[in-house]
Amino acid sequence: MTHPIRRWHPTHRIGLLSPSANPAVEPEIRHLLPPQAALHVARLPVMPNTTLEQRNAVYLGHVEAALGAFGNLALDAVIVGLTGTSYALPPAEDQALQTRLSAHAGRPVILASRAIAAALAALGRRRLLLFSPYPGWLTERAETYWAAAGFDLVESFKVSDTFRAYDLTPEEVADGLAKLAPPQDCAVLISGTGAATLDAMEWMRGPLGVPVLSSNLACAFVACRALGLPASEAMRTCCPDLAALLPAAIAT
Protein backbone atom coordinates (compact mmCIF):
# COMPACT_ATOMS: atom_id res chain seq x y z
CA MET A 1 0.00 0.00 0.00
CA THR A 2 1.24 3.50 -0.83
CA HIS A 3 0.76 5.83 2.10
CA PRO A 4 0.51 9.64 2.15
CA ILE A 5 3.34 11.65 3.66
CA ARG A 6 3.20 11.66 7.46
CA ARG A 7 1.77 14.79 9.02
CA TRP A 8 1.79 14.05 12.76
CA HIS A 9 3.96 11.05 13.57
CA PRO A 10 7.69 11.90 13.60
CA THR A 11 10.19 10.26 11.32
CA HIS A 12 13.09 11.12 13.68
CA ARG A 13 13.57 11.56 17.42
CA ILE A 14 16.13 13.94 18.89
CA GLY A 15 17.07 14.12 22.56
CA LEU A 16 18.03 17.32 24.36
CA LEU A 17 19.94 17.59 27.63
CA SER A 18 19.15 20.93 29.26
CA PRO A 19 20.37 22.69 32.40
CA SER A 20 17.55 22.65 34.92
CA ALA A 21 16.80 26.39 34.87
CA ASN A 22 17.48 27.08 31.18
CA PRO A 23 14.29 28.74 29.84
CA ALA A 24 15.20 29.05 26.15
CA VAL A 25 16.98 25.98 24.83
CA GLU A 26 13.93 23.70 24.74
CA PRO A 27 11.42 26.01 23.01
CA GLU A 28 14.03 27.42 20.61
CA ILE A 29 15.34 24.02 19.53
CA ARG A 30 11.73 22.89 19.03
CA HIS A 31 11.05 25.85 16.72
CA LEU A 32 14.34 25.32 14.87
CA LEU A 33 13.74 21.64 14.13
CA PRO A 34 11.30 20.66 11.38
CA PRO A 35 7.94 19.14 12.39
CA GLN A 36 8.97 15.59 11.47
CA ALA A 37 11.64 15.61 14.21
CA ALA A 38 10.27 14.95 17.69
CA LEU A 39 12.13 16.56 20.59
CA HIS A 40 12.56 14.67 23.88
CA VAL A 41 14.06 16.55 26.81
CA ALA A 42 15.92 15.46 29.95
CA ARG A 43 17.19 17.93 32.56
CA LEU A 44 20.67 17.90 34.01
CA PRO A 45 20.93 17.69 37.82
CA VAL A 46 19.90 20.65 39.95
CA MET A 47 22.88 22.04 41.85
CA PRO A 48 21.56 24.28 44.64
CA ASN A 49 23.81 26.81 46.31
CA THR A 50 26.41 26.72 43.54
CA THR A 51 27.79 29.47 41.35
CA LEU A 52 27.76 29.45 37.55
CA GLU A 53 31.50 28.80 37.56
CA GLN A 54 31.09 25.84 39.92
CA ARG A 55 28.29 24.36 37.79
CA ASN A 56 30.27 24.82 34.61
CA ALA A 57 33.17 22.94 36.15
CA VAL A 58 31.10 19.80 36.72
CA TYR A 59 28.27 19.82 34.17
CA LEU A 60 30.13 17.91 31.48
CA GLY A 61 30.89 15.19 33.99
CA HIS A 62 27.15 14.61 34.37
CA VAL A 63 26.39 14.39 30.65
CA GLU A 64 27.28 10.73 30.14
CA ALA A 65 25.06 9.65 33.04
CA ALA A 66 22.27 11.98 31.88
CA LEU A 67 22.22 10.26 28.48
CA GLY A 68 20.84 7.27 30.34
CA ALA A 69 17.78 9.28 31.38
CA PHE A 70 16.25 8.54 27.96
CA GLY A 71 16.21 4.82 28.73
CA ASN A 72 15.34 2.71 25.68
CA LEU A 73 13.84 5.60 23.73
CA ALA A 74 15.14 5.17 20.19
CA LEU A 75 16.84 8.50 19.59
CA ASP A 76 18.56 9.42 16.34
CA ALA A 77 20.76 12.11 17.93
CA VAL A 78 21.19 13.98 21.22
CA ILE A 79 21.90 17.68 21.64
CA VAL A 80 23.75 18.79 24.79
CA GLY A 81 22.29 22.23 25.47
CA LEU A 82 25.40 23.75 27.05
CA THR A 83 27.92 26.15 25.56
CA GLY A 84 29.83 27.82 28.40
CA THR A 85 31.06 24.54 29.88
CA SER A 86 33.03 23.73 26.73
CA TYR A 87 34.89 27.02 26.87
CA ALA A 88 37.06 25.65 29.70
CA LEU A 89 38.46 23.03 27.29
CA PRO A 90 40.86 23.35 24.37
CA PRO A 91 38.83 22.85 21.17
CA ALA A 92 40.60 19.58 20.36
CA GLU A 93 39.68 18.12 23.76
CA ASP A 94 36.12 19.37 23.31
CA GLN A 95 35.90 17.60 19.95
CA ALA A 96 37.35 14.43 21.47
CA LEU A 97 34.72 14.58 24.22
CA GLN A 98 31.95 14.82 21.61
CA THR A 99 33.41 11.82 19.79
CA ARG A 100 33.55 9.77 23.01
CA LEU A 101 30.00 10.69 24.01
CA SER A 102 28.72 9.74 20.55
CA ALA A 103 30.48 6.37 20.72
CA HIS A 104 29.05 5.76 24.20
CA ALA A 105 25.52 6.68 23.12
CA GLY A 106 25.66 4.86 19.79
CA ARG A 107 24.29 7.92 17.99
CA PRO A 108 25.49 11.47 17.28
CA VAL A 109 25.86 13.54 20.44
CA ILE A 110 26.10 17.23 19.57
CA LEU A 111 27.90 19.69 21.83
CA ALA A 112 26.79 23.28 21.27
CA SER A 113 30.34 24.58 20.94
CA ARG A 114 31.24 22.05 18.25
CA ALA A 115 27.94 22.71 16.48
CA ILE A 116 28.83 26.41 16.30
CA ALA A 117 32.23 25.56 14.81
CA ALA A 118 30.56 23.26 12.27
CA ALA A 119 27.96 25.88 11.32
CA LEU A 120 30.63 28.54 10.84
CA ALA A 121 32.65 26.16 8.70
CA ALA A 122 29.57 25.37 6.60
CA LEU A 123 29.09 29.09 6.01
CA GLY A 124 32.77 29.54 5.18
CA ARG A 125 33.14 32.21 7.87
CA ARG A 126 36.46 32.39 9.76
CA ARG A 127 35.92 35.85 11.24
CA LEU A 128 33.68 36.12 14.27
CA LEU A 129 31.96 38.84 16.27
CA LEU A 130 31.04 37.46 19.69
CA PHE A 131 27.85 38.65 21.40
CA SER A 132 28.21 37.53 25.01
CA PRO A 133 25.53 37.29 27.74
CA TYR A 134 28.22 36.06 30.12
CA PRO A 135 30.19 37.58 33.01
CA GLY A 136 33.70 38.76 32.22
CA TRP A 137 35.52 35.55 33.15
CA LEU A 138 33.33 33.39 30.91
CA THR A 139 33.51 35.88 28.04
CA GLU A 140 37.30 35.65 28.27
CA ARG A 141 37.11 31.86 28.11
CA ALA A 142 34.90 32.09 25.03
CA GLU A 143 37.37 34.46 23.36
CA THR A 144 40.25 32.08 24.13
CA TYR A 145 38.30 29.08 22.85
CA TRP A 146 37.40 30.60 19.49
CA ALA A 147 40.89 31.97 18.93
CA ALA A 148 42.34 28.53 19.67
CA ALA A 149 39.83 27.04 17.24
CA GLY A 150 41.36 29.16 14.47
CA PHE A 151 38.78 31.93 14.26
CA ASP A 152 39.62 35.61 13.93
CA LEU A 153 37.69 37.34 16.73
CA VAL A 154 37.06 40.84 15.40
CA GLU A 155 35.08 42.08 18.42
CA SER A 156 33.57 40.87 21.66
CA PHE A 157 30.40 42.61 22.86
CA LYS A 158 29.28 42.01 26.43
CA VAL A 159 25.64 42.67 27.31
CA SER A 160 26.44 42.87 31.01
CA ASP A 161 29.19 42.22 33.54
CA THR A 162 26.98 39.57 35.14
CA PHE A 163 25.34 36.41 33.81
CA ARG A 164 22.25 37.58 31.94
CA ALA A 165 21.58 34.77 29.48
CA TYR A 166 18.50 33.39 31.23
CA ASP A 167 16.68 36.69 31.72
CA LEU A 168 17.55 38.59 28.55
CA THR A 169 14.46 39.55 26.55
CA PRO A 170 14.39 39.43 22.74
CA GLU A 171 14.16 43.23 22.78
CA GLU A 172 17.36 43.50 24.84
CA VAL A 173 19.16 41.11 22.51
CA ALA A 174 18.00 43.11 19.49
CA ASP A 175 19.05 46.40 21.10
CA GLY A 176 22.50 44.93 21.75
CA LEU A 177 22.80 43.65 18.19
CA ALA A 178 21.82 47.09 16.90
CA LYS A 179 25.00 48.50 18.47
CA LEU A 180 27.22 46.26 16.36
CA ALA A 181 28.86 47.11 13.05
CA PRO A 182 30.16 43.74 11.86
CA PRO A 183 32.51 43.52 8.87
CA GLN A 184 30.80 41.95 5.90
CA ASP A 185 33.08 38.93 5.89
CA CYS A 186 32.29 37.84 9.46
CA ALA A 187 29.43 36.17 11.30
CA VAL A 188 27.83 37.27 14.55
CA LEU A 189 27.63 34.62 17.26
CA ILE A 190 25.17 34.98 20.15
CA SER A 191 26.72 32.50 22.55
CA GLY A 192 24.76 30.63 25.21
CA THR A 193 21.78 28.30 24.88
CA GLY A 194 19.75 30.12 27.54
CA ALA A 195 19.27 33.45 25.76
CA ALA A 196 16.05 34.26 23.89
CA THR A 197 17.45 34.79 20.40
CA LEU A 198 14.99 33.81 17.66
CA ASP A 199 12.92 37.00 17.48
CA ALA A 200 16.03 39.16 17.73
CA MET A 201 17.79 37.23 14.96
CA GLU A 202 14.76 37.61 12.72
CA TRP A 203 14.47 41.35 13.42
CA MET A 204 18.20 42.10 13.01
CA ARG A 205 19.27 39.79 10.20
CA GLY A 206 18.56 42.43 7.56
CA PRO A 207 20.04 45.47 9.35
CA LEU A 208 23.26 43.64 10.25
CA GLY A 209 23.76 42.25 6.78
CA VAL A 210 25.77 39.19 7.92
CA PRO A 211 24.79 35.73 9.17
CA VAL A 212 23.71 35.75 12.81
CA LEU A 213 24.12 32.46 14.67
CA SER A 214 23.13 31.31 18.11
CA SER A 215 24.12 28.21 20.04
CA ASN A 216 20.62 26.80 19.60
CA LEU A 217 20.44 27.51 15.88
CA ALA A 218 23.82 25.85 15.32
CA CYS A 219 22.74 22.75 17.27
CA ALA A 220 19.55 22.40 15.25
CA PHE A 221 21.45 22.87 11.98
CA VAL A 222 24.01 20.18 12.80
CA ALA A 223 21.29 17.75 13.94
CA CYS A 224 19.31 18.31 10.74
CA ARG A 225 22.39 17.93 8.57
CA ALA A 226 23.41 14.71 10.32
CA LEU A 227 19.94 13.20 9.89
CA GLY A 228 19.13 14.54 6.41
CA LEU A 229 16.27 16.71 7.67
CA PRO A 230 15.08 19.91 5.98
CA ALA A 231 15.26 23.38 7.50
CA SER A 232 12.34 24.57 9.58
CA GLU A 233 10.53 27.83 8.94
CA ALA A 234 12.32 29.34 11.95
CA MET A 235 15.73 28.42 10.58
CA ARG A 236 14.89 29.78 7.14
CA THR A 237 13.76 33.02 8.75
CA CYS A 238 16.66 33.46 11.17
CA CYS A 239 19.55 32.26 9.03
CA PRO A 240 18.62 31.54 5.42
CA ASP A 241 22.29 30.99 4.52
CA LEU A 242 22.43 27.93 6.80
CA ALA A 243 18.94 26.77 5.87
CA ALA A 244 19.96 26.69 2.22
CA LEU A 245 22.59 24.06 3.06
CA LEU A 246 19.98 21.57 4.27
CA PRO A 247 17.85 19.27 2.08
CA ALA A 248 14.75 20.73 0.51
CA ALA A 249 11.50 20.06 2.36
CA ILE A 250 9.15 17.47 0.87
CA ALA A 251 5.90 19.07 -0.24
CA THR A 252 2.84 17.96 1.71
Q: What is the pLDDT of residues 50-82, one digit of tens each?
A: 888 888 888 888 888 899 999 999 999 999 999
Helix, strand, coil share of the chain (percent; to 5) = 45, 15, 35
- pLDDT of the residue at 227: 97
Question: What is the pLDDT, as a whole number, of residue 208?
Answer: 95
**pLDDT reading at 251 higher than 70:** no
Binned at pLDDT 50, 70 and 90, residue 236 comes out as: very high
* Nearest residue to 37 (alpha-carbon basis) of 194, 234, 200, 201: 234
Is the domain spanning 12-243 CATH 3.30.559.10? The answer is no
Residue 112 exposure: Cα atoms within 13 Å on the Cβ side: 28
> Residue 229: its pLDDT value, please?
97
Share the mean pLDDT of the chain.
93
Please say if the pLDDT value at position 7 is more than 80: no
Question: What pTM value is reported for the model?
Answer: 0.94
User: In whole angstroms, what separates CA 33 from the centre of its chain?
Assistant: 12
CB 110 within 8 A of CB 230: no
Determine the 3-state secondary structure of 73 from DSSP: coil
Q: What is the pLDDT of residues 131-170, one digit of tens each?
A: 999 999 999 999 999 999 999 999 999 887 777 888 889 9
Using an 8 Å Cβ cutoff, are 96 and 63 in contact?
Answer: no
- Work out the average pLDDT over 8-35: 94
